[in-house]
Amino acid sequence: MIVIAAYSHKGGTGKSTALMALASAIEARGQSALLVDCDPQRNFNMYRLQAEEIGCWSDRMEVRYLDFEATGVAHLESDLMAAEDSGRFDYALLNLAGVDHPFNRMALRYAELTLLPFKPAATELAELGPALEVIRGLEREGEIGAARVLFTLMRPKLTSAASAYRDAALDGFPVMETRLRDTAIFADIVMRGLLGRTLAVMEAQASGLEKMQVKRLGEALDDCRALLAEVDSILLNARLAT
């Protein structure tokens, strides 16, 4: 079972969206995932409930909530080990609360890949540096797997000032080639839960203008698949390097 974490020091950076994009791609290729939510907003559960209302959730996806302030990291370890031993899951997607907290620093040690989703805006990137310092510290101790910044809400073209600010914040840290774009297609991930299931339902029912929405959902799912393909490539390269 592959453990992937999403980490930042603030909320609203796109952690839940990035992991739901991965969940959509994982489900669409017939695999399974345990979605562990340590964020008090409980977005995973919200997505599951919304998807169940329109018949688009999958029994290959299981949601579990752990309160990061009330749960010891030993509980997380126990849940991950039980999931691994069950043989039910190909992936565990770990959504960490958007804060700098000892629970998060310990939880990151269980991830083969940590994604740091951030929007390329000055107010957002101000929080990226401290998060990267935590990651770099764990890397120096050999206590973390691969890590990549994932830019979310990307516009077609950044201003030169925004690009310079982004590059300064990164300070050479590796970045995902895949971007989550600033378009309406990723709003569908938030509203619908699992794009593969949603697309199949809508394709069977769509008529007239709804066919354009089906096309948009298909494009969103293609982006999800591209993100998962890059994740798999990073993990493969990391294993070959060890």
CATH number of the domain residue 96 falls in: 3.40.50.300
DSSP letters, 164-213, are HHHHHHHTT--B-S---BSSGGGHHHHHHS-HHHHHHHHHHH--TTHHHH
Average pLDDT, the chain: 85
The DSSP bridge partners found for residue 14 are none
pLDDT over 90 (residue 107): yes
Cα(218)–Cα(213) distance, integer angstroms: 9
Contacts of 123 (CB under 8 A, 6+ apart): none
Q: Are 135 and 104 in contact (CB under 8 A)?
A: no
Nearest to 122 by CA among 163, 153, 173: 163
Nearest to 29 by CA among 234, 236, 224, 191: 224
pLDDT digits (tens, 9 = 90+) for 174-233: 999 988 876 555 556 656 678 787 777 777 776 666 677 777 788 888 888 999 999 999
What one-character DSSP code corresponds to residue 14? S
Strand 113-118 versus strand 146-151 pairing type:
parallel
Give the range of the structural domain holding residue 27, as residue numbers without chain letter: 2-241
DSSP letters, 18-74, are HHHHHHHHHHHTT--EEEEE-STT-HHHHHHHHHHHTT---TTEEEEE--TTTS-HH
In this prediction, residue 188 carries a pLDDT of 60
Provide φ and ψ at 56, rounded to 5°.
-120, 15
pLDDT over 80 (residue 3): yes
Domain tally, the chain = 1
Residue that wins the pLDDT comparison between 200 and 129: 129
In this prediction, residue 190 carries a pLDDT of 59
pLDDT digits (tens, 9 = 90+) for 17-67: 899 999 999 999 999 999 999 988 888 888 888 888 878 889 999 999 988
